[in-house]
Structure 1
Amino acid sequence: MAANLQQQRSINEQLRREADIPRIQVSQACQLMMKYVLDHENEDCLLNGFASQKVNPFREKSSCSIL
């Protein structure tokens, strides 16, 4: 019973914290995300590629050779 009461109190505290978060409309959030993506597309390696293979974290690693 005490564990259940403690759990309900922690849920209540979490809901109070979430209620205090400022909200914006979905359309405004979408516009902000689109602006961010467009402003940073020059830095996106998945769109523009990498300057060299050495900086590419997705390149295939060299194969392991048995000595």
Structure 2
Amino acid sequence: MSKTDKRHSTSRAGLLHTDPRTISAVRDKLGEELRAMYGRLADEPLPDRLLKLVWQLDQPHSKGKP
């Protein structure tokens, strides 16, 4: 087993002994940070090319055409 493998193995094993409240707090903080970074993207308008693609996907397919 290489040093890298041992480090990954040790870090995974350490997670098994971590208080679930700590894991939950880390997950909550990570979610908060990601929402702060990427939340504005939801307010951005979609490019026309993407809107056209979505519109095309919503159209019923006729027989004989993919």
Interval of TM-score (by shorter of Structure 1 and Structure 2):
0.3 to 0.5
Q: Which structure exhibits the higher relative contact order, with contacts defined as CA atoms closer than 8 Å and separated by 6 or more residues?
A: 1
- TM value normalised by structure 2: 0.44
- TM value normalised by structure 1: 0.43
Larger Rg: 1
Q: Which has the higher helix share?
A: 2
